[in-house]
Structure 1
């Protein structure tokens, strides 16, 4: 069971953020055995198909280098040109093989851990120079696994090499009595077979190492319950900070709402618990809009502002409660309350235009049952 530095057991699977941060730091699963296997197997396949051609080219170069005119041996410039030409031809002869090995070495890590080019991964780490940390790594599970793999590779490679040599020993002895061309081709064939046998040994090690590296990487990234909670808190935001933000947003909304109250045409109250400010301009608006909603202290503030700006205050408890629980600030009133609000606005507009209005029973306005609250 993995443990954190304070001894707490790491029982939780790593989160996506944890794995993403680890990759940014260059901490990805790696298997050297898989890379070695792919390089050895690629070399074996390449030599199997093109080994004879490379061998023929090298033989021709060796022949060219050992058979030249007498005057070349006594002319430094000509001898230098001959050596350069042979070197260039040799490079071109083995370049396909070298290119394949470089390509496999670069791309093989992608099969397990992928690439990691972050600056954090490339930055030097002074902790690696700490001798105490070095001793811990020497006696860690990873170090023991590396030791086991090295011993397993040694045993497997020696065993298969010995078995292979035992099987082809007569062929190796026969190389000395074969013709030059046939012996070279035969040697290339034996080398290719040797590569294949070594690949089989590394295949066994890679089959064991790849699952171990994935398991060990996951084990190293495991988290304690506290780490999971802390990460969740960081992603979701600190509750205290979020609460404070909501409080500030609420205060700003209330301040903006109170600034809109002087524009209202009427204030509908409960009469003391609720207050709703409405505005309706027949020339520019299709329906009445709620400018402010408040309860208790906020309701008192709305009524105070209304008095300061001579805005009519209508006591209509059922309508005030219906608007408080169903309407939203800066939005049109609910459709089912149009008739009740229209009766109030008609009364207010008549009173404003002519100084008198037809009496309205505000306690019994037409409010649907689903909008009635006690």
Structure 2
């Protein structure tokens, strides 16, 4: 009951991290039916296109059996048993030599089916011994699970349909060959090839339909099993936030974005106020456009040094005013007007900068100094 209740709470779709960890453990949506389809497809191609060239050697093997049928005496003596063994071994060896490459191609077809799904995952977790794998209670639960029921129904459907198709095609083929007088080995091999081709073609179409449905079911069932509760998502979020590597990457990303924003903002500034080394604030004021000065960028220590460097490169005036620079760094917001209590002090500095650009000489406001070098 507790396990069912726990599953009912898992209503949220799995996160990418949950799916990635499941894959690392070897838990991926994989359909065996795709491998069956590719294996049968390989067998059909072999039967339809390769077997005609193999039919003659195979008929030769059968001809040898027919020719020696009246020469082998099977009795209680040792020689008769040896003769029978020799004939049997000759047939098995001849057929085996002819069919071994064909069976190898079938195996390769099944492997190709797994590769098509991209589910070749080598995970030590799959082969690690676990008590739950040999637990009778765990096995009983799996026996009556939804997945087991679907697999059982699918197997029964395949056996019934493939069996019915095979019997129907074989019955009509045998009736046809029985009506022929004087059966030759070549006729037997040709009959076997044609019957097998017809049967495989129908079975291939059937398995293809089953495989498509099975792939869709496997993917749905995999995501259903990986579903999470709200508490699982919260716990994962805490783990992710606490991961030093992820946290470091996020901080690096934030710093990079800040550097890009500053590189675009500082060249547009009217003036940069400094502390002189610990803080820097880039301000913009355009007469007739801005109601009050706007903070374009601000930073401390290394970021402040970068702002000063960009200001020098862009020939933006740098004014040192320790209390004002620190105060603006603490209260001003980027891309917003500075607080009203600092309008007057900043206006005096911006007025000085504008006069300086018009070659009008006037003293700097009290507490301020012009920095030409860092």
* TM-score of the pair, normalised by structure 2: 0.58
Post-superposition shift, 1:138? 0.6
Asked if the contact 2:58/2:189 (under 8 Å) is kept, the reply is: no
Aligned equivalent of 1:180, options 185, 207, 210: 185
Q: Considering only aligned residues, what root-mean-square deviation do their CA atoms show, in Å? A: 4.3
Does residue 231 (structure 1) correspond to residue 236 (structure 2)? The answer is yes
Post-superposition shift, 1:40? 1.9
Does residue 27 (structure 1) correspond to residue 27 (structure 2)? The answer is yes
Paired position in structure 1 for 2:107: 102
Question: What is the DSSP-based 3-state SS (H/G/I as helix, E as strand, rest coil) of the residue aligned with 2:301?
Answer: coil
Paired position in structure 1 for 2:46: 46
Post-superposition shift, 1:87? 6.5
Distance 1:180 1:80 in 2: 21
Distance 1:13 1:173 in 2: 61
Paired position in structure 2 for 1:130: 135
Post-superposition shift, 1:128? 0.9
Asked if the contact 1:28/1:113 (under 8 Å) is kept, the reply is: no
- Relative to structure 1, the CA distance from residue 85 to residue 232 in structure 2 (aligned partners, 3 Å threshold; closer, same or farther) is same
Asked if the contact 2:11/2:228 (under 8 Å) is kept, the reply is: yes
Does residue 111 (structure 1) correspond to residue 116 (structure 2)? The answer is yes
- Relative to structure 1, the CA distance from residue 143 to residue 364 in structure 2 (aligned partners, 3 Å threshold; closer, same or farther) is closer
Does residue 329 (structure 1) correspond to residue 332 (structure 2)? The answer is no
Once the two structures are overlaid, the 10-residue window that deviates more, 127-136 or 170-179, is 170-179
Paired position in structure 2 for 1:363: 366
Asked if the contact 2:14/2:227 (under 8 Å) is kept, the reply is: yes
- Relative to structure 1, the CA distance from residue 172 to residue 236 in structure 2 (aligned partners, 3 Å threshold; closer, same or farther) is farther
Post-superposition shift, 1:143? 0.9
Question: What is the DSSP-based 3-state SS (H/G/I as helix, E as strand, rest coil) of the residue aligned with 1:185?
Answer: helix
Post-superposition shift, 1:44? 1.8
- Relative to structure 1, the CA distance from residue 127 to residue 113 in structure 2 (aligned partners, 3 Å threshold; closer, same or farther) is farther
1:59-70 map, 5 Å: 59-63=59-63
Aligned equivalent of 2:200, options 195, 199, 202: 195
Aligned equivalent of 2:152, options 128, 147, 151: 147
- Relative to structure 1, the CA distance from residue 181 to residue 164 in structure 2 (aligned partners, 3 Å threshold; closer, same or farther) is closer
Paired position in structure 2 for 1:319: none
Asked if the contact 1:4/1:224 (under 8 Å) is kept, the reply is: no
Gaps of 5+ in 1: 247-274, 279-289, 294-324, 342-359, 368-374
Asked if the contact 1:4/1:10 (under 8 Å) is kept, the reply is: no
Distance 1:201 1:364 in 2: 89
* TM-score of the pair, normalised by structure 1: 0.58
Question: What is the DSSP-based 3-state SS (H/G/I as helix, E as strand, rest coil) of the residue aligned with 1:206?
Answer: helix
Distance 1:90 1:159 in 2: 27
Gaps of 5+ in 2: 72-77, 252-273, 280-296, 322-362
Asked if the contact 1:61/1:89 (under 8 Å) is kept, the reply is: yes
Asked if the contact 1:19/1:221 (under 8 Å) is kept, the reply is: yes
Asked if the contact 2:26/2:125 (under 8 Å) is kept, the reply is: yes
Asked if the contact 1:175/1:186 (under 8 Å) is kept, the reply is: no
Distance 2:148 2:194 in 1: 38
Question: What is the DSSP-based 3-state SS (H/G/I as helix, E as strand, rest coil) of the residue aligned with 2:237?
Answer: helix
Post-superposition shift, 1:338? 4.0
Distance 1:190 1:197 in 2: 11
How many residues are treated as equivalent by the alignment? 269
Paired position in structure 1 for 2:328: none
Post-superposition shift, 1:100? 0.5
Distance 1:33 1:108 in 2: 9
1:282-328 CA distance string (max 9 Å, x none): xxxxxxxx1x56xxxxxxxxxxxxxxxxxxxxxxxxxxxxxxx9563
